[in-house]
């Protein structure tokens, strides 16, 4: 596929263009700014590494109220395109002020729902003042545990997507758009 004069032979088609992503980011950041604007919030955007790093960077620039940022890294994928369902915390959150913190988890995509449902419970148990979730993409048809995110950029069909932070085997994160990966990329040996 050719996009802006560049050949992306491993991409089937673009699901969200740069312009569509920008619109989503502006809509979500306006909602978040309004919802947390009453002044007694210590809003912490919690980026879930690595997939959310690009989305988080754009989102935080458009939020008009004071925010702090923090990071966690978890893994649920055993490699490939299937989630293992076991969530491993690779980088934990360490904050002295968690009881005064309103945590907004920023995630790239929800698939089975296991990562965000686990992380929300984990952060509440750790004592966060509040925990909400914001995801760029949601594949509701793939849910294995019931989970409703608070902010959703876009619902997408059951396709494996890459770009704008999302990877397949650590590749393709740097694409400026979200694209559907050609299945032969992950089925060929
Ligand atoms: P869940 O725990 O099954 O909801 O998995 C969420 C995680 O799976 C996301 O943070 C992504 O890292 C990964 N994931 C799910 N679907 C995709 C996809 O289509 N492309 C890339 N990563 C994905
Ligand atoms: Mg992820």
Q: What is the pLDDT along the chain (189 residues), one digit of tens a residue?
A: 999 999 999 999 999 999 999 999 999 999 999 999 987 889 999 999 999 999 999 999 999 999 999 999 998 766 567 666 789 999 999 999 999 999 999 999 999 999 999 999 999 999 999 999 999 999 999 999 999 999 999 999 999 999 999 999 999 999 999 999 999 998 875
Instruction: Tell me the ligand closest to 80's alpha carbon.
Output: 1
What atom of ligand 1 comes closest to residue 147's alpha carbon? 4
The distance from CA 114 to its chain's CA centroid, rounded to whole angstroms, is 13
Answer whether 112 contacts ligand 1 (Cβ < 6 A): yes
Q: 45 with 59: CB under 8 angstroms?
A: yes
The DSSP annotation for 44-60 comes to EEEEEETTTHHHHHHHH
Answer whether 115 contacts ligand 1 (Cβ < 6 A): yes
- Helix/strand/coil (H, E, C) string of 128-160? CCEEEEEEEEECHHHCCCCCCCCEEEEECCCCC
Per-residue pLDDT, 185: 92
Choose one of 83, 117, 142 to mutate for the ligand 1 pocket test, by most ligand atoms within 8 angstroms of C-beta. Answer: 83
Per-residue pLDDT, 187: 86
Per-residue pLDDT, 86: 83
Find the Cα–Cα–Cα–Cα dihedral 43, 177, 92, 26, rounded to 10°.
0
Q: 79 with 38: CB under 8 angstroms?
A: no
Expressed in angstroms and rounded, the spacing between residue 188 Cα and the centre of ligand 1 is 20
Q: 14 with 178: CB under 8 angstroms?
A: yes
Strand order in the sheet with 178-181: 11-16, 178-181, 161-162
Expressed in angstroms and rounded, the spacing between residue 50 Cα and the centre of ligand 2 is 6
pTM of the complete model beyond 0.75: yes
Expressed in angstroms and rounded, the spacing between residue 71 Cα and the centre of ligand 2 is 12
- Helix/strand/coil (H, E, C) string of 79-104? CCCCEEEEEEEEECCCCCCHHHCEEE
Catalytic residues: 111
Answer whether 114 contacts ligand 1 (Cβ < 6 A): yes
Q: What is the DSSP letter of 78?
A: -
CA dist 184 and 189 (Å) reads: 9
Q: 93 with 122: CB under 8 angstroms?
A: no
What atom of ligand 1 comes closest to residue 168's alpha carbon? 21
CATH number for the domain whose boundaries are 2-186: 3.40.50.2020
């Amino acid at each position: 596929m050719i996009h802006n004069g560049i050949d992306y032979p491993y991409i089937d088609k673009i699901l969200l263009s740069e312009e569509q992503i920008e619109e989503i980011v502006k809509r979500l950041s306006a909602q978040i700014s309004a919802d947390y604007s009453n002044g007694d919030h210590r809003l912490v955007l919690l980026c879930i590494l690595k997939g959310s790093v690009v989305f988080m960077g754009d989102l935080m620039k458009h939020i008009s109220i004071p925010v702090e940022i923090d990071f966690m890294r978890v893994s649920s994928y055993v490699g490939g395109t299937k989630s293992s369902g076991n969530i491993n915390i690779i980088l934990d959150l360490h904050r002295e002020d968690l009881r005064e913190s309103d945590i907004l988890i920023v995630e790239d995509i929800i698939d089975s729902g296991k990562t965000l449902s686990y992380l929300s419970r984990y952060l509440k148990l750790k004592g966060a003042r509040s925990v909400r979730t914001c995801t760029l993409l949601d594949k509701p048809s793939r849910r294995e545990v019931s989970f409703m995110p608070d902010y959703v950029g876009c619902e997408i069909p059951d396709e494996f997507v890459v770009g704008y932070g999302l990877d397949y085997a650590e590749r393709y994160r740097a694409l400026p758009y979200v694209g559907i990966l050609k299945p032969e990329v992950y089925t060929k040996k």
